[in-house]
Structure 1
Amino acid sequence: MEQFTPSPGEPERVVEQYGNMLYRLCLVALGSRADAEDAVQDTLLRYLQKAPAFVSAEHEKAWLIRVAANRCRDLRRFWLRHPHTGLEEVAGHCAEPGDRAVLEALMTLPEKFRVVVLLHYVEGYSTGQIAAMIGRTPSAVKMRLQKGRKLLEQAYGREDG
């Protein structure tokens, strides 16, 4: 039986032919548009990296579905091990309208600054405790706090302005 080998221009064809189907599958499995988009992107990236040879177009489709389903399963498993709270859920508990604006500005910060600002100002940890948690020196934590405050001020200032 002759093998079905994708040609070099195949990424566009694969996205056009299977992209919507993979997105719907991932959206139903994950319940989040952003996570579904990530799962589809990971699936297509794996397709490009592996460049598998298929027996038929149906085999190609089945392979893509299997990879997408596995990626969705991996994401759900990660969520079970590492629960997180979304911005919408946290914002629902904000008493004042201004609290939500500060929270939204905080969420725009890069993760390394956001984490130390949250741990210090919201959770009340000292710079030494934060340093031990994230594996950095206390002086590095202080620098991240300083930079995080500056970025937060800029982000919050833009919303008010």
Structure 2
Amino acid sequence: MDDYGDMLLRTACLLLKDRHSAEEAVQDTFIQAYAKMNQLQDPERLKAWLIRIVVNRCRMKQRTWSWRNTFPSGGSELQTSEDAGFTAGAEELFMVEWNNIRLAESIRNLDYVYRECLTLYYFHEMNIREISEQLNTPENTIKSRLARGRTLLKKMLEKEGHFL
């Protein structure tokens, strides 16, 4: 949990848009992983296996009508200055945090399928083949979702006056 908890929580926060639901999804992930540890065939793929479980948990939560209508928006975190190992001045740290907040808010406003692909691609640095396997979705669909997600994100940021 110490090794992967923060990474899984960031993923769940980005996907679910609600920290409390994300914490619940991560907790459920570790419970399920512990209960089904014998199904993990390759211990070196533990990280990918946990990501798959948390993404599936988030999908299950996202599908429930009451959840979608109860949590239309919420907070999430991207990368803090501590995570990045910065030793910059206060102004630089503020700008990094500010840009992360703006980016997180824009990502949260995307449809779930785009948030999911962008999160796995950029924040977990998974390639298209790995995302395809993880989501059990054709590679061309993943490429399309990434392209559309980037386009929508760019338009959103430009509309708000933010440029990457």
Query: Shorter chain as normaliser: what TM range?
Result: 0.3 to 0.5
Greater Rg over alpha carbons, structure: 1
Which structure ranks higher in relative contact order (CA pairs < 8 Å, sequence separation ≥ 6)?
2
